[in-house]
Structure 1
């Protein structure tokens, strides 16, 4: 690679942390012998359009400086193109970077990107990405981490409507509010091999949440599927069945260390193709991918093996 790096920045990530480290990060990349351009879009749509233009023009790598939301946006531009993705964590949640072994410190991550982008390709890792959208193929988008439906996505919906307090505090407010009214959701989950064969399993049950995981964690460290791997061509699909709210409050915090997987209400399956539906009362549920709103179910998720090339530590 000749060294032309395009850095995509979310200036509001983690209360402006990304903005504060742009200068040092760009300097570190340039010290590695790279030409560097910075993209800051006027909106998410503008940023994505600029990123896609840069990829189409033959940049050596697109580098996302921000959290999982910005990585999600960058994946839309690079997945399936062969152009590598660099990740420099600077957000509230950096779960995708963590799953790929990328350092948490932005300057250390920039050093990884600089070395990997200037090397012989040995530090470019091929990993899976996935697509999510309507069962008929409509409104499909890429994701790299986790699709979530249920209690957690309901909390996200509430939090998106809260102007204050900012940051993670609003998610705590939304969580408390949602707990007051939440009831288990009747899901139908269809699992398949994705190779054109017949479906392998259909799960119909009331559940607190369902997660379709390409990587192990989401939500700033919740290890919802601790054994999920981003390079095996399969999702780990977790279903947390209906439990009383008190039991849910005791079980849910264990997700930060993966201790929830032994709970009798937890089921984990592996599949390459997953359709999520909610039926009957309480069926108004929205899916989120990498923390970004997808839309109401039903949705279908499909793994695309090796669709991403990521700059990682050698």
Structure 2
């Protein structure tokens, strides 16, 4: 479904860069993208904060100013930071993928691997209006995400990987996954849907999708549509370690939803509870459970290919 689409000139843009993304490759990507944008006649201001909080401040200031687009150069974490400033603003999001997962770029067909091609998409100015999801944590703080929120085995793997200093890169997550598999256990969850339905399940993981994939193309919510006003919820019931190992590759194709241990539902809002579990979305930590999730229909304009 496409809520609204349009095309308009991009004359002024702010570029938000994460120099550390993809082992520093984002800096090279930023240089190529900015040069290409300027070739198109776009006035570009480059933003590089000292840390995430500083980058967030710069993004909010830029969106409050006179720009047509805020362009995130990096991975899904950098886009997530941009979303906090863009939500409901009417300023368009431009994406130059230069991270590890790039699941926002995958969702909207942004070219991977060539910053100049991504810049050409931005210069063409075709936009699509899509939903965001607001997550409210136990302390009442709200934060938005654009792709998938994960809670359970996958978030435990991320927790462990974030505590590790070796190895580096994606191998760190592989090591963390092996370690969590060794201590795999059923995780009691309680979910409350928008119509009041209560689901109490022993799960391996719960994934709540605005778009299809996380983790670099894992189609955990393969039927998710970011413009339908609904969350796609994928619940993977508790299963033995050996079964999970065989099950895992099917997630890349999205065929896992046909497995007898998988349950899917759609809802416009959701409360999700489980003890000792943190929620991650767009690859970033959101909050410890319980959290409340609610779709914000049409909260984002994103620049997409023609």
Settle same-fold status: TM greater than 0.5. Answer: yes
Question: Please, which of 283, 289, 292 is the counterpart of residue 291 of structure 1?
Answer: 283
Deviation (angstroms), 1:148 = 0.5
**Equivalences for 1:33-182 in 2 at 5 Å?**
33-104=41-112, 105-116=114-125, 123-134=126-137, 138-182=140-184
In the alignment, the residues of structure 1 paired with residue 111 and residue 10 of structure 2 have an alpha-carbon distance, to the nearest angstrom, of 24
Q: Is the 8 A contact 2:10 2:123 kept in 1?
A: no
Q: Is the 8 A contact 1:132 1:141 kept in 2?
A: yes
SS in 2 for 1:228: coil
In the alignment, the residues of structure 2 paired with residue 3 and residue 251 of structure 1 have an alpha-carbon distance, to the nearest angstrom, of 48
In the alignment, the residues of structure 1 paired with residue 10 and residue 180 of structure 2 have an alpha-carbon distance, to the nearest angstrom, of 51
RMSD between aligned residues: 1.1
Equivalences, count:
297
Asked if 1:308 is matched to 2:300, the reply is: yes
TM-score normalised by length of structure 2: 0.95
- Deviation string, structure 1 residues 125-177 (Cα, Å, up to 9, x no partner): 10000100226x81110111111000000000000011111111100011011
Asked if 1:263 is matched to 2:269, the reply is: no
Q: Which runs of 5+ in 2 are unaligned?
A: 1-8
SS in 2 for 1:46: helix
SS in 1 for 2:251: helix
SS in 2 for 1:225: coil
- Deviation string, structure 1 residues 196-218 (Cα, Å, up to 9, x no partner): xx42x211010000011000000
- Deviation string, structure 1 residues 29-74 (Cα, Å, up to 9, x no partner): 0111100111111000000000100111121110000111111000
Q: Is the 8 A contact 1:155 1:174 kept in 2?
A: yes
